[in-house]
Structures are given as C-alpha cells and as structure tokens.
Amino acid sequence: MPTDRKPDPAAGVSAPVAAFLAHLAGERQVSAHTLDAYRRDLVSLARWGDMRGIAIDALDSEHLRAFLADEHRRGCAPKTLQRRLSGIRSFYAWHLRHGRVVVNPATGLRAPKAARKLPEVLDPDEAKMLVETPATGPLALRDRALLELFYSSGLRLSELCGLRWMQVDLDDGLVSVHGKGNRERIVPVGTHARAALAAWRASTGAVSGAPVFPGRGGAPISPRAVQLRVRQLAQRQGLFKHVHPHMLRHSFASHILESSGDLRGVQELLGHADLSTTQIYTHLDYQHLAKVYDAAHPRARRKKAPGDDSA
C-alpha cells in the first residue's frame, strides 16, 4: 500500500547512532541532506568498529585516528575526512552531555588539511548583465524577480525556493527566511529587486500564503528547475561560464564585503553560524587588492615586455 511516510534515517543503525540522529531530526531540525550525511559517516565508523569487535560508543581516540588513517588510504579526500570528523565529534559531544560516554575521543583530532578552493564569483558588470534579463511576458517577469532577489539578498537556493509572499515585505524592503538549522533571519531587499518582485506579483495576483516562485501545480519551484533556468539565462545574456545560483550568493557576499569591509555584517546577511565560514570572502577581496597593487604600484612585480631590458 503506498505511503507518504518518509524513510526513518535511524533504521538499521545501532542504538547510540539512532539516538543521535533522532536528536538531529527532532531538536536541531537539520535538513534531510545533512541528516543523511551524518548517518552515512557514523555508519562507516560503526562498521569499522564492528569489524574489530568494538562498539561505536567504546571507541577511543587511537581507534578514531586509525579509522581516519584507513579512510585516507582508501582515497577519501581531506575535505571529506574533515566533514566526517566534524560529525563524529558532534556525535560524541552529544553523548558526553547525556552521560553516555565519559570522554569525547574526537577532541583534539585533526583531519588532513584540504586545499582551500575560493568560490568563483561574477564581477559587478557580469552580475548586472545577468540580472537585467529582459522582463517581457510572465515567465520573463519571474526570471527577472528571481535573479534580482538572489543577487540583492544573497539567499541560499533552498531559501529562495521555499519562500512565500507572507515572508516578503515590499514596503520596507525586507524578506524573512529560515536558513540552516531552521534559524530565521531578516535580510534587506534592494530597490531593483523590490520593483521586479512587485511586477511579478502583480502579474500573478498571488495571495500571501502562495510560493513566491511556484512550479508545476502551484507547489514551490524545485531547486533543479532554478539551477537549469539560471544557467540558460546566463548563456542567453552572453555569460559563457558555469553560472549557478550559489555563484550569485558568492557574488553578493564578495561585492558587499568589498564595498563595506564589514565581515560581521556579511556574516549576518548570509546567515552563517560561524564567522570562519564567512572569512573565505576576505581572500577574494585580497585577490582583488593584489591585482590593484600589481597594476598600480611603481615597485610591483610585472612581466617585462619583449625586448624590455630596463631594471
């Protein structure tokens, strides 16, 4: 008999893992994607322990170090190992708070360092070119509103897809969204985005409870549909690079930081729980400053022109 019940993420796992996953789903209300990642990482660790006759809640720091080393030898990338260690550390920290273990064996462990890949961004001219897609016809009005809101407010893809009109205050230029961990934040909406949203709403006559960007059947538009549409619009506007929704969020953050220098403010606008997550945008800014320096400073290192033997 068909059912709409979602699969239980704690099914088929040990009791300690099941209890932690229930906490994540119930109290912390993490996304299904995050919950699945925790489950896979903890199942891998539990299986590793089972093969050695050790329950997951009896592993010590040496066991965890050996597990990470084995995973590294198997070809796990440093970034993957960092994520796994973070989940394992959270797992033991929660059990420690509830008196189910006497020590967190993951404390002090470090995964191999991963090369930090800077996010690719659009420059201001490219962003302007993208968002100013011609707004003629209902679908074009939607596209313009979608792009303007992305770049104006730095929303995550999931936040934009789930947005409803009751969360949008066009008079005051504010939008209220629920981000990761179900944390609510209020972010400003720029003048151009407000105008685009107002034109889009007027064309649809949507009520306050309706999705801002509906898909088929009136349900919220799917993330995949937005990804495909953004790529199509970028190509149509002459941006022949891999443009995706998160690039607009990166561009928003980079351009705000470049203009204001207010890292803490950018953190609040993006909804980052940890300032270290936001600090990657300072590296983008430093890259920009380095280019300015190389182009302008009399003593900056420059490539010699052919035949130029001057000191």
Point out the residues that are catalytic: 156, 180, 246, 249, 272, 281
Residue-wise burial string across 186-205, b where 16 or more C-beta atoms lie within 10 A, e elsewhere = ebebeebbbebbeebbebee
Give me 201's structure tokens.
């709403």
Q: Are 26 and 9 in contact (CB under 8 A)?
A: no
